[in-house]
Amino acid sequence: MKYKITEDSEEIKKIGYQIMAENPVRYPDRLWQEFQQKFLEFLPDEEQLRGIFSSAVYHQQIYGTSIMDYLTFRFEEKSHKEKIEYVTWFSRFVYMAFLNKDRDLHLLDNKFEAYNILKPYYKREAISVGSWDDFEIFCEFVKRYNRVFVKPINLELAEGVHRLVIRAEDDLKVVFSALLEEADKLYCEDVTRDVDKRLIIEEELVQSKEMARFNPMEMSVLRVTTILVKGKVNFFYPCFRMMCGNGEDLKGEMYSYEALIDEKTGLVVTDGIESRCSIEYHPVTGMKIKGFQMPEWEELRSMLEEASLKLPTLRYIGWDVAHTDRGWCIIEGNTNGEFFFQMCVGRGVKKEFEDMIGFHTPFGFMLEEVEQLVDNRKNRRK
């Protein structure tokens, strides 16, 4: 390994600065500026913040963490022995390459293709738009559903996802033109992957009364990971993501908490957990988190087992699901879902995961090798 493995925090920072200096293309100044802009309000000491950033860079090079991994899993408190037990942001791609066939990734990566394959489990209508040829279809759709969700068909991490409310006085040509411009901006030349440059528009789901007890203004979701091994669908650390915003202004990971769910019973078994703290009650409604029984748990398990078996060449899927007034619905499936639930487990699950899939990797993470693996997969899909 090129860089020294150490548990000394000052030495870690020093090596982090060295890595940045030696790899200016990988770590341009804009990355530090973006990190500073994101976290300065939480930690106004710029020198301390720069030290955290350099430590995160060190851990990315040695263990394959993203910056959020480093913060979320609290790697600054852990020993080397503990760190190597985590499946991290970059290291997961090695497992995904083993479990999921490259040629079939499009079945879920393309959201509209996934919708058509798994429509009975989506339980909502959706259309795709990409040009003025689709304008009439759009008009007919928003006549039926004036509250919709707009999603890029081929982007990840909820990029570009937003709610759209159509009012009676809106000029639909203006609205549609804005959507096409939005798609052009999302799929700019900075996006290097081969993409389908359309948008998918879905009718808005209404969360069930049971789930609205946590936050009636914003839908909370579950991430349920399924792993297909020898024809059997295994459920791996399902997690409850509780959104804490007002449905409009506060969105995303900075305003959510996670809690583990017992995969057999559907019982929430931890408090709500965020990278730096835990909560016993939901901050919006005061609803107690630990001990909540997920509704219709067996129905959810059956639905995801059926859906997983429809995609036998995609053996690892991270499903985002929601309980609605129509029962459980699939929001989407992810072929390279991250292992953020390790935050709730409180330890790395690498050995447990590798034992399940029958594929073991030695420690010796090399960021360049994994990035090359990802690039090769992208190129094969073009």
Residues 310 and 174 in one domain: no
The residue-averaged pLDDT of 156-176 equals 87
Lowest mean pLDDT among 15-19, 45-49, 137-141: 45-49
Residues 281 and 352 in one domain: yes
Domain presence at residue 362:
no
Lowest mean pLDDT among 79-88, 156-165, 299-308: 156-165
Look at residue 192 in the predicted model and tell me its pLDDT: 47
Choice between 203 and 195, residue whose per-residue pLDDT is larger? 203
Domain presence at residue 2:
no
Residue 64 near residue 367, CB atoms below 8 Å? yes
What is d(CA 222, CA 217) in angstroms, rounded to the nearest whole number?
17
Number of domains in the chain: 3
Residues 339 and 227 in one domain: yes
What is d(CA 227, CA 335) in angstroms, rounded to the nearest whole number?
11
Domain presence at residue 365:
no
The residue-averaged pLDDT of 324-331 equals 96
pLDDT higher than 90, residue 199: yes
Residues 158 and 142 in one domain: yes
| Domain stops at, among 56, 84, 112 | 84
What is d(CA 117, CA 108) in angstroms, rounded to the nearest whole number?
9
Write the CA distances from 243 to 39, 46, 290, integer angstroms: 20, 29, 16
Average pLDDT, the chain: 89
Tokens representing 175 are: 């609205």
Look at residue 45 in the predicted model and tell me its pLDDT: 82
Look at residue 251 in the predicted model and tell me its pLDDT: 44
Residues 222 and 352 in one domain: yes
Residues 213 and 338 in one domain: yes
Tokens representing 36 are: 């500073």
Domain presence at residue 291:
yes
Band of pLDDT at residue 46, cut at 50, 70 and 90: confident
Domain presence at residue 71:
yes
Band of pLDDT at residue 41, cut at 50, 70 and 90: confident
pLDDT higher than 70, residue 342: yes
Residues 59 and 79 in one domain: yes
Residues 75 and 169 in one domain: no
192 contact partners, CB below 8 Å, separation of at least 6: 378
**pLDDT (tens digit per residue) in 87-114:** 999 889 899 999 999 999 999 999 999 9
% of the chain surpassing 90 pLDDT: 69
| Domain stops at, among 169, 203, 237 | 203
- CATH code of 216's domain: 3.30.470.20
pLDDT higher than 80, residue 377: no
Lowest mean pLDDT among 92-96, 244-248, 252-256: 252-256
**pLDDT (tens digit per residue) in 255-298:** 689 999 999 999 999 999 987 789 999 999 999 999 999 999 99
Look at residue 321 in the predicted model and tell me its pLDDT: 98
Range of the domain at 61: 9-84
Look at residue 197 in the predicted model and tell me its pLDDT: 78
Residues 242 and 340 in one domain: yes
Domain presence at residue 339:
yes
% of the chain surpassing 70 pLDDT: 88
Residues 255 and 348 in one domain: yes
| 3-state class percentages of the chain: helix first, strand second, coil last, to nearest 5 | 40, 20, 40
The residue-averaged pLDDT of 18-42 equals 87
Residues 215 and 346 in one domain: yes
Band of pLDDT at residue 348, cut at 50, 70 and 90: very high
Band of pLDDT at residue 158, cut at 50, 70 and 90: low
Look at residue 253 in the predicted model and tell me its pLDDT: 43
Domain presence at residue 55:
yes
**pLDDT (tens digit per residue) in 113-148:** 999 999 999 999 999 999 999 999 999 999 999 999
Q: Where are the beta strands (DSSP E) in the chain?
A: 126-129, 147-152, 162-165, 199-203, 221-229, 232-243, 256-260, 272-274, 277-279, 316-324, 327-334
Prediction pTM value: 0.88
pLDDT higher than 80, residue 248: no
Residues 309 and 221 in one domain: yes
Range among 41-50, 58-67, 148-157 rated most confident: 58-67
CB environment 283-306: b (16+ within 10 A), e (fewer): ebeebebeebebeebeebbebbee
Domain presence at residue 79:
yes
